[in-house]
Amino acid sequence: MLRLPKFRLEEPTDVAGAVALMSEHGEDAMIVAGGTDLYPNMKHGLFEPKVVVSLGRIAEMRGIEALADGGLRIGATTTLAEMAQSALVQERAPALAQAASLVAGPQLRTMGTAGGNVMLDTRCQWYNQTHFWRKSLGYCLKKDGTVCHVVAGGRKCVAAASNDTAPTLMTLNASATFANDEGSRDVKIDEMWKADGIWNKEPGRGEILTSLHIPAQSKGHRGAYGKLRDRGSIDYPLFGCAVRLDLDSEGVVEDADVVCVALVARPLRIKKVAETLRGKKVGTESFAEAAKEAADLADTQAKPMDNIPGESLYRRQMVPVYVRRTLQAAAEGKGPVHHV
């Protein structure tokens, strides 16, 4: 049986208290919300905090609020289940609701949080293992070692961003509010990533994500999320893609975006998607052809590696399939795209 190591649990009742605790304990402290990722990683010896600061008692960090301008504010400790089931999120940010509905399984979604999924640690099949397993191979770049088992001779960690909601938030031009001992700051989700599998986020480990803000989308907004995984539940993505389409009153594409995940250390935006789809009317042969061209762009730009479970060649073959299907689902106002 894998056991949690000893640690002290702190449960502040406001953001200021949580910030003070993180400042006081520095690198010895870590944040926990739902705990669905942190606690298993602690059991595996991947994280060894002496103090764990829980956000569970901070009421101001929970809930989904409709903003007067048509946007949304989502508290960081709002559960993934609440986000997936919210009529507001389904209406104003359908791809986000779909992505949240596909994270893990029902029990984990009732504990896992909006902020926790955004801040999810990168994953690698050589890293997310027991201490005994990792020690037998001499560890790796991400934890305790000097060798990358994915890229021969590699000197940069390529553990993959595997958070389903992150690419959808990027397509929605969302931002995150972080609290620290100097106050608070807003960071565009698009701009918070680094190409470093050890820590792939620009905000420091001591900063606390308090809320997500999604601006109002266009009247013709449509979105969808597609997720490739071994089973119909539980699994992290073998590949994920978020799609945004902005249509005019005639159903013609004015703008488009595709962002993919479970490839490299940061979510990957597929280039030239908007130029490929712009001017095409959904439901027509020209749109179907443009969607295939966009899928081919993803096939060229996305290069799955052996950093997560699943044969990389198979995952690469499925990239254009899932991008095309998810574009079609968004055009039809459907989704999510996944197998059951």
pLDDT at 340: 57
208-214 and 72-75 strand pairing = antiparallel
Q: Cα–Cα distance between 240 and 213 in angstroms, integer?
A: 22
Domains and CATH numbers, the chain: 8-55 (3.30.43.10), 62-119+160-214 (3.30.465.10), 221-331 (3.30.390.50)
pLDDT at 239: 98
pLDDT at 205: 87
Using a 10 angstrom Cβ sphere, with 0-12 exposed, 13-18 middle and 19 or more buried, the burial of residue 313 is exposed
pTM: 0.97
pLDDT at 282: 99
pLDDT tens series, the chain, 340 aa: 899 999 999 999 999 999 999 999 999 999 999 999 999 999 999 999 999 999 999 999 999 999 999 999 999 999 999 999 999 999 999 999 999 999 999 999 999 999 999 999 999 999 999 999 999 999 999 999 999 999 998 999 999 999 999 999 999 999 999 999 999 999 999 999 999 999 999 998 889 999 999 999 999 999 999 999 999 899 999 999 999 999 999 999 999 999 999 999 999 999 999 999 999 999 999 999 999 999 999 999 999 999 999 899 999 999 999 999 999 999 999 999 997 5
Please report, for residues 46, 154, 243, 307, the alpha-carbon distance to residue 21 in angstroms, rounded to integers and kept in the order given.
Answer: 22, 37, 39, 35
Contacts for 47 with CB less than 8 Å, ≥ 6 apart? 30, 38, 41
Q: Cα–Cα distance between 104 and 36 in angstroms, integer?
A: 10
pLDDT at 13: 99
Spell out a b/e string for 227-241, using b for 16 or more CB atoms within 10 Å of the CB, else e.
bbbeeeeebbbbbbb
